[in-house]
Amino acid sequence: METRASDPNGAASPAPTLPRATPVRRVIRESADTVTLELDNSVGRSFAPGQFNMLYLFGVGEVAVSISGGPVESQVLAHTVRAAGAVTRLLVNVKRGATIGVRGPYGSAWPIEGAARERLDLLVVAGGIGIAPLRPVIYHALRERHRFGRLIVLFGARRPDDLIYAREFNRWRAYPGVELRTIVDHGSSNWRGPVGIITDLLATTDFDHDDTLAMVCGPEVMMRFVRHALVGRGLPPERIYLSLERNMKCAIGHCGHCQLLPFFVCKDGPIFALPKVAPLLDMREL
Amino acid sequence: METIERLLREHPFLQGLDDRQFALLAGCAKKARFAAGEYIFREGQEANASYLVRTGRVSLEVNVAGRGPVQLHTVEEGEVLGWSWLYPPYRWQFDARVVEPLWAIFLDGACLRSKCESDHDLGYELVKRLLRQVHQRLERARFQLLDIYRAGS
Residue A14 has pLDDT above 70, yes or no: no
pLDDT value, residue A72: 62
Query: Do residues A224 and A167 both lie within one domain?
Result: yes
- Chain B residues inside the 8 Å CB shell of A189: 68-69, 71
- Residue A133 pLDDT: 96
Out of A106, A130, A161, pick the residue that ends a domain.
A106
CA distance B117 to B123: 7
Out of A186, A188, A219, whose CB is closest to B153? A219
Reported as a single tens digit per residue, the pLDDT across A235-274 is 999 999 999 887 788 888 888 887 888 888 888 889 999 9
- State how far the Cα of A148 lies from the Cα of B14, in Å rounded to an integer: 38
HEC profile of B9-42? HHCHHHCCCCHHHHHHHHCCEEEEEECCCCEEEC
Q: Which of A106, A122, A137 is the last residue of a domain?
A: A106
Measure in Å the smallest separation between the Cα of A198 and chain B Cα atoms.
10
Residue A194 falls inside a structural domain: yes
| Same domain membership, residue A193 and residue A59 | no
Structural domain containing residue A55: 20-106
Domain-embedded: residue A227: yes
Query: Residues A96, A123: one domain?
Result: no
Q: Do A245 and A168 belong to one domain? A: yes
Q: Which chain A residue is nearest to residue B142, measuring alpha carbons?
A: A197
* Same domain for A135 and A92: no
Q: Is residue A88 part of a domain?
A: yes
* Interior angle at CA A165, CA A45 and CA A183, nearest 5: 135
Same structural domain, A186 and A211: yes
Are A28 and A118 contained in the same domain? no
Q: Is residue A228 part of a domain?
A: yes
Chain B residues whose CB is inside 8 A of the A86 CB are none
Percent of chain B having pLDDT more than 90? 82
A219 located within any domain: yes
How far is A140 from A113, CA to CA, in rounded Å?
A: 10
- A80 and A201 fall within a common domain: no
Mutate to test the interface with B, among A34, A159, A189 (most CBs of B within 10 A): A189
Q: Give me the DSSP letters along A58-75.
A: TTTEEEEEEB----TT-S
A144 within some domain = yes
In a shared domain, residues A44 and A164 = no
Is B96 within 8 Å of A195 (Cβ atoms)?
Answer: no
Q: Which CATH number covers residue A239?
A: 3.40.50.80
Whether residue B153 lies within 8 A of chain A, CB to CB, comes out as yes
Beta bridge partners of B41: B96
Could you give the 3-state DSSP secondary structure of residue A106? strand
Q: Domain check: are A181 and A145 in the same one?
A: yes
CB-based contact B129:B14 (threshold 8 Å): yes
- Our CA angle for B86, B92, B94, nearest 5°, is 135
B73 and A128 in contact by Cβ < 8 A? no
User: Taking all residues of chain A, what is their mean pLDDT, rounded to a whole number?
Assistant: 90
CB atoms B151 and A156 under 8 Å: no
Neighbours of B87 (CB within 10 A): 10
| Residue from the list B72, B99, B150 with its beta carbon closest to the beta carbon of A192 | B99
Q: Residues of B numbered 66-105 whose beta carbons fall under 8 angstroms of chain A's beta carbons: which are they?
A: 68-74, 76-78, 99-100
- pLDDT for A205 beyond 90: yes
Q: What is the pLDDT of residue A7?
A: 57
Pair A220, A272: CB distance under 8 Å? no
Higher pLDDT: A153 or A276? It is A153
Same-domain status, A138 and A255: yes
Domains present along chain B, CATH in parentheses: 4-145 (2.60.120.10)
What residues of chain B lie within 8 A of the CB of A63, using their CB?
A: none
Task: Count residue pairs from A and B with Cβ separation < 8 A.
Answer: 68
Same domain flag for A24 and A77: yes
Is residue A222 less than 8 Å (CB to CB) from chain B? yes
Residues 110-139, chain B: which have Cβ within 8 Å of A? none
Q: Digits of tens for pLDDT over chain B (153 positions)?
A: 579 999 999 999 999 999 999 999 999 999 999 999 999 999 999 999 999 999 999 999 998 888 888 899 999 999 999 999 998 999 999 999 999 999 999 999 999 999 999 999 999 999 999 999 999 999 999 988 888 888 665
Tell whether A204 is covered by a domain: yes
CATH number for position A84:
2.40.30.10
- Domain count within chain A: 2
Residue A94 lies in a domain: yes
**Cβ A34 vs Cβ A1: under 8 Å:** no
Considering A90, A106, A122, which residue would you say is the last residue of a domain? A106
